[in-house]
Structure 1
């Protein structure tokens, strides 16, 4: 019976240390999380600048609701594209430095829309092996030839590109890898895209708002221009503190996505109050150097505090600081031990990360204090490694 099979699979996940848990927060997103009546310091959130509860965003959302209501009522191409959406698209394009931007409901939906709109069965995608699940699923939907190169390996990527006879080619990568915290070699990727006449699609979910001048993202971090063959996807539910995503690129490419990206065409537009709040968020991001500097100080404090200990941090220079454990059950045990000490650090296991690389994923925010990071460092130093 199918129910027996489901029960057996759930038991297997539990046995292998792979079963996921859902915890319900009894308060808003922030450095302190209240769960089951307990208050914990949370190192789980992607709210990198601490903007999700910023008074300016809350007030902008309230003003947006009063002026525009709560729902958009339809998809963008029917009657759901309201003035706040149009204004936010223009503001995002200007901020990133591209001719045009297009809003999506989530980053996952944006990625699922981009790749199938540009490629088909006769084409090929060249994807970093550690790409996010949304990018992997996007290639599956496109039904293109999916060639994966070792993580950040430009030499192997060039070999694959040179040997490909595909009609169209597309290089697909995260900018900041969500489980490792390192950066893709974007200048080298763009050079290969130019050399082999390929698209370059960059998912900057974890770089937008955090990296680069004024938080303009990973392209700005590397001082890369808004090249015509480059498509940039940024999410708005992480450093921007709200929800949604956008794709920025050449005018003609964005016009094509509007006509062919199914996840844009066939879904209701996001609430206009979010667009109003996100417009305010962009102002805070642009003026957020002090927040970003505090975030980098916290990152240095964590890394310096764990240097020379038994804990193996990956070489990340971003707000994502993974501690490699290896064994699934051990990672869960350590996360539970930190939880008992009032520290919420998630254990990340396969299939999110490769087998044998289970880890504690520490996410830092500008909303954290030095004292809170110090408490985490001290607790990790006191815990046994296994």
Structure 2
């Protein structure tokens, strides 16, 4: 008897393998109060996502402009509000030019794929998945260098046969939470006539005295060969992304950035919320310091309990547990004790490095820290018995 074709069999088999390896992922519908848990899983570093000032700005913009931007920014999707945000980002981060996208992911796709075309692309091993995908989309030769290894970067640049090159790195790495050696990388790119692209997703609003980002803190904001990408969905409590750079860079992205040209513009409400967040950062420059202090407290707490972690440069504090099952169990233990923690497993992290990813917030209270300590104590006890 002829066997009936089953085009979905391979997907079921792959799903079963992932589940057996502890890598199955599940969508969880969050409630408005999120079950009353202390949130250490989101990227709302400044606690602005529910700030009344952002919500009111978003509501007012929606009433003025409507719920969507209605098209690509090169057609109907670019409003006066978008132009205001771009100008405000330039002033805040001390950049020459700015271009707003509908997500930070798409900002990275455009920057790396367009600027890296017909060039060598040197990408750091710890870079975010959006950068990895952007490298692939560039269709250029890509060299992946070890984590924070400036010597390897310079060697890749010096050995290239391409006329042009870009080096791309996270500023603060999204899982390890450490800081890229930006000054050294910039010096290497200057010596080797290359462009430096820095993803500020986890550093804008957190790094530097006023939260102007790691590039600014390293004294590189005015350097023409440095391009910054960022997201509006973390510290700025909104949605969207942007690229900051010289006018030549911005024009290149407008002309050739596929994720800019062919994507619907960022919704007006999100644009207005991001504008309000930048204003808050300008008027409350103490907020980034609060985030960094809380992150150091979380890391210190974890170390005192015998848990493996890093010295955080920004808000991200990883608790390395090893196998995926240990990370899943630790996240459940935290939730049972009133704390929601991020659970990162391969391919988000290397095999054997599954972890809880804790993210500090500027508005964590002393009472919150006491609850968090109880949860981490239970994780440490769980680890001993495994």
TM-score (norm 1): 0.94
> Aligned match of 1:317 in 306, 313, 331?
313
**CA offsets, 1:225-252, max 9 Å, x none?**
3211111111100000000011011111
Give the aligned partner of residue 285 of structure 2.
289
**CA offsets, 1:126-166, max 9 Å, x none?**
11001000001001011111101100001111111111111
What pairs up with 1:1-386 in 2 under 5 angstroms? Answer: 1-27=6-32, 33-34=33-34, 38-120=35-117, 122-382=118-378, 383-385=381-383, 386=386
Aligned equivalents of 2:181 and 2:219: distance in 1?
12
Give the aligned partner of residue 3 of structure 2.
none
Q: Secondary structure at the match of 2:127?
A: coil
Aligned equivalents of 1:317 and 1:371: distance in 2?
24
Unaligned runs of 5+ in 2: 1-5
RMSD after superposition: 1.4
Q: Secondary structure at the match of 1:171?
A: strand
**CA offsets, 1:250-281, max 9 Å, x none?**
11111111000011111111112222222111
**CA offsets, 1:85-130, max 9 Å, x none?**
111111111111111100111011111111221233x421111001
Asked whether the equivalents of residues 337 and 371 of structure 2 are also in contact (C-alpha less than 8 Å), the reply is: no
Deviation at 1:379, TM superposition (A): 2.3
Aligned equivalents of 1:147 and 1:89: distance in 2?
32
Asked whether the equivalents of residues 298 and 370 of structure 1 are also in contact (C-alpha less than 8 Å), the reply is: no
Count of aligned pairs: 377
Asked whether the equivalents of residues 116 and 142 of structure 1 are also in contact (C-alpha less than 8 Å), the reply is: yes
**CA offsets, 1:56-100, max 9 Å, x none?**
111111111222222221211112211101111111111111111
TM-score (norm 2): 0.94
**CA offsets, 1:183-207, max 9 Å, x none?**
1000011111111110111000000
Structure 1 runs of 4+ aligned residues shifted over 6 Å read none
